[in-house]
Structure 1
Amino acid sequence: MSVLVEVCIDSIESLPIAERAGAKRIELCSSLATGGLTASAGYMKAAARVAGIPVYGIIRPREGDFLYSGDDVEIMLEDIHTAKQAGLNGVVIGALQADGKIDETIVGDMIKAASGIGITFHRAIDHCSAPFDALEFLMAHKVERILTSGLAKRAEDGIEMLKDMAAFTQGRLSIMPGAGVSPDNAKRIIDATGVTEIHLSGKTTRQSHMAFKNENATMGNGDDFAITVTNPETIKDTLAALTR
């Protein structure tokens, strides 16, 4: 069985690294440290220009929950338009109501806005109080796949729910496990669930090439001179594990 490996990235530097390592689809994000936020228009255009594999842009205007205001929705619909104009192959969307159920109105509007390109529903499903109702809605609206940890912190811990989701959907949409996926557990997750796609970042850091470093000034809580990039060996090792 062939397994498609999707890699999430948050820099244009990582895109060719992931592609050369064997990724077959990219989830384009900024700020992976906060779970992934919408890429800028320039970043989307650059990704579409250099990629030789499909690129799906996450549509998430802020970190935190998936309960969105009218202003948030306006931004997301505009960002979907931007993704289409930039030439991306798809978008990654999601929205919930305060009671944890899928927000059918907002998600429906985003699906309409994304007409003509692919759609993944993101890990909002893992915070959903009625995930199987959400799956019914998403299947009815021809969403391609959901990215999910099986409602757990890590996909490896959500295997039973991932199996239930795959059985429930019966191939009408793809269940794509993600969160904590690594070369050590990818094959176990695939073998246990029978799914055909898997998602990981495989990220590491590299040191800045700056010759001058003022380490007394910081831009946030992290290290300003540690740059997040895809680790090609992690992607290669995951692919190798999946074929063993």
Structure 2
Amino acid sequence: MTIQLEVCIDNLESLHNAQQAGATRIELCSSLALGGLTPSAGFMSAAAKYATIPVYAMIRPRQGDFLFSSDDVEIMLADIFAAKQAGLQGVVVGVLTAHGLVDNDILTSLVKQAQGMGITFHRAIDQCAKPMAALDTIMAAGCERILTSGLQANAYDGIGMINQMHQHCGNHLKIMAGAGVNSHNVRDIIARTGINEIHLSGKTTRPSHMIMVAKQAHMGSADIDDFAIPITGIANIAAVVAQLKL
């Protein structure tokens, strides 16, 4: 069984690292520390230029919940258009109602805008009140996969639900496990769920190449080191790839 390995990234350095390590698809984001937001148009274009594997752009205009206003939707539609214009292969979306159901009206409009592209429904499903009904709505809308941790904090703890989702959808919707996937648990997750797609960041940090390091002024929270650059770790992804080949 061929396993698809999607790596989520938020900078171009990580794109090169993920490809070198053996990723088979990229989820392109900004602000992974916030769960992933929409990448810039420039980032989309650069990714399309340098990627040798499919790239899917996250379409999420802000941090927080997945209850989006009409203004949010306007932005999302424009960002999907930008992803298509950049030449990316797909987009990643997720929209809910106030009661925790998939917002079918908004999802339908996003899918229509993304016609001709692949569509992943992201971990908004992990905050759904009725996950199996959500799967039916997502399948009917024309999405090709969902990304899920099985409604738990991480995919390993959600193995039971991921398996149920896989059994429910069969060949109609791919189930991709994400959140906390690593080289130590990836084989167990695949074996116990029957899925063939996984998602991770393989994140690590590298030190800044700055010679002059200004410690007194912070660009954001003082708890975040501006001179530790978050990147996808080649060794982390390669270790997962090695487990998939055993």
Give your verdict on TM over 0.5.
Answer: yes
Matched to 1:181, the amino acid is V
Query: 1:141 Cα shift?
Result: 2.4
| Residue correspondence of structure 1 range 29-48 to structure 2 within 5 A | 29-48=29-48
Moved more, 129-138 or 26-35: 129-138
Aligned match of 2:88: 88
1:163-196 residue CA offsets vs partner (Å, 9 max, x unmatched)? 0000000111100000000000011000000101
1:96-136 residue CA offsets vs partner (Å, 9 max, x unmatched)? 00000000011111000000110000000000111111111
Give the conservation status (yes or no) of the 8 Å contact 2:107–2:141. no
Query: 1:243 Cα shift?
Result: 2.3
Give the conservation status (yes or no) of the 8 Å contact 2:176–2:198. yes
Unaligned regions of 5+ residues in structure 2, if any? none
| Residue correspondence of structure 1 range 1-244 to structure 2 within 5 A | 1-221=1-221, 222-244=224-246
SS of the residue corresponding to residue 158 of structure 2 reads helix
1:27-56 residue CA offsets vs partner (Å, 9 max, x unmatched)? 000110000000000000000010000000
Please, what TM-score do these two structures have when normalized by structure 1?
0.99
Moved more, 158-167 or 138-147: 138-147
Cα separation, 1, equivalents of 2:50 and 2:30: 17
SS of the residue corresponding to residue 157 of structure 1 reads coil
SS of the residue corresponding to residue 156 of structure 1 reads coil
Cα separation, 1, equivalents of 2:213 and 2:234: 27
SS of the residue corresponding to residue 102 of structure 1 reads coil
SS of the residue corresponding to residue 192 of structure 1 reads helix
1:61-95 residue CA offsets vs partner (Å, 9 max, x unmatched)? 11110001111111111100010001110000010
Aligned residues: 244
SS of the residue corresponding to residue 27 of structure 1 reads strand
Percent identity over the alignment is: 57
Give the conservation status (yes or no) of the 8 Å contact 2:80–2:114. yes
Query: 1:7 Cα shift?
Result: 0.2
Moved more, 31-40 or 132-141: 132-141
Query: 1:20 Cα shift?
Result: 1.0
Please, what TM-score do these two structures have when normalized by structure 2?
0.98
Cα separation, 2, equivalents of 1:235 and 1:202: 6
Cα separation, 2, equivalents of 1:196 and 1:172: 14
Query: 1:142 Cα shift?
Result: 2.3
Cα separation, 2, equivalents of 1:139 and 1:68: 21
Matched to 1:136, the amino acid is D
